[in-house]
Chain A
Amino acid sequence: MIPLLILSPLILLAAIGAVWMARPVHAALMLALTLALVAVLYLALGAEFIGLVQFAVYVGAVAVLIVFSLLITRPGDEAEEIERRPRSLVTGLLCTLPVMAVLAYTAASGSNIKLIPWQPKLSIAELGEVLFTSHAPAVLALAVLLTAVLIGAALFAREPDKTQDDSSEK
């Protein structure tokens, strides 16, 4: 409970930063911070392995990928880089506030179900066993998906080959 109390406001502050920061790079760094704090929350809740995976994949790969993409897609002039405060904030809030209200109300009111407290312990050996026995098809499917993504992303991001283009246009 106590780590939750400490971490929740921090996570929210970092997330607000990620949404609100004017400079794209700052926003991306705040995102990395949010993800790292969520990972710490996982660690504190006893899901150590998930926390480490979150660290490795989200903070280590995704956030870094985003920062690099921002660096690559820098617009030429400085003024454009600093994004003005979103003009469409009103419609944005109009869309998001009800969603939040409904979700939060449900969460707060629906949790009056009787809870039996228990201390879950995530054992890596069990996780690994489940992953490669009952969940093996899902792992295989994910592997195929990741391979497809790898090839697709490489194809998309590749510098277009000039000669190839010419021949296809003919």
Chain B
Amino acid sequence: MTPLAMMLTLSSVLFALGLLAVLTRRNAILVLVGIELMLNAANLNFIAFWAFDSPGAHNAAEPVLSGPMFVMFSIAIAAAEAAVGLAIILMVFRHTRSTDLNKLDSLHG
């Protein structure tokens, strides 16, 4: 198994674990934890492709930076997402005194 394949496998398992957390945890904040895991899996892929296979890097006159660049933007946006997500959860908590997703069924038809 090449290192690239290993990294990709690692990231796919990480992604699946994040998805599992999103689908099964009942605490809204822990759902956010799952989302962070999934985002990290994606970042891992960027770094993997940058580190092990950068087309055009082999005759490197130009530095190839798109991988790290993507990750930097992704991290910044992930931080923003976490902040807004947690703020929304806090607001929900203030209304219902709970962060249990099973109790939040106001979408009930």
* 10 sampled A-B residue pairs with Cβ under 8 A: A11-B10, A27-B30, A50-B75, A54-B43, A62-B78, A75-B100, A104-B9, A116-B58, A130-B63, A157-B91
CA distance A46 to B68 in the complex (A): 11
Per-residue B-contact encoding for A46-74, CB less than 8 Å = 1, 0 else? 11011001100110011001100110110
Partner of B52, one of A99, A115, A122: A115
Q: Please count how many residues in chain A sit with their CB below 8 Å of the partner chain's CB atoms.
A: 84
Q: Is the CB of B77 within 8 A of A19?
A: no
| A-chain residues with CB within 8 Å of residue B68 when the two chains form the complex | 47, 49-50, 122, 127
| A-chain residues with CB within 8 Å of residue B78 when the two chains form the complex | 57-58, 62
Q: Using CB atoms, name the residue of chain B closest to A24.
A: B27
CA distance A107 to B9 in the complex (A): 6
CB distance from B5 to the nearest CB of A (A): 4
Q: Taking the complex as formed, is A1 at the interface, i.e. its CB lies under 8 A from any CB of chain B?
A: yes
Interface residues of B (CB under 8 A from A): 1-21, 23-27, 29-30, 32-34, 36-37, 40, 43-44, 47, 50-54, 57-58, 60, 63-65, 67-69, 71-73, 75-80, 82-84, 86-91, 93-94, 97-100
CA distance A100 to B50 in the complex (A): 22
Interface residues of A (CB under 8 A from B): 1, 4-5, 8, 11-12, 15-16, 18-19, 24, 27-28, 31, 34-35, 38, 41-42, 45-47, 49-50, 53-54, 57-58, 61-62, 65-66, 69-70, 72-73, 75-76, 80, 83, 86, 88-89, 91-93, 95-97, 99-100, 103-104, 106-108, 110-111, 113, 115-118, 120, 122-123, 126-127, 130-131, 135, 138, 142, 145-146, 149-150, 152-157, 160
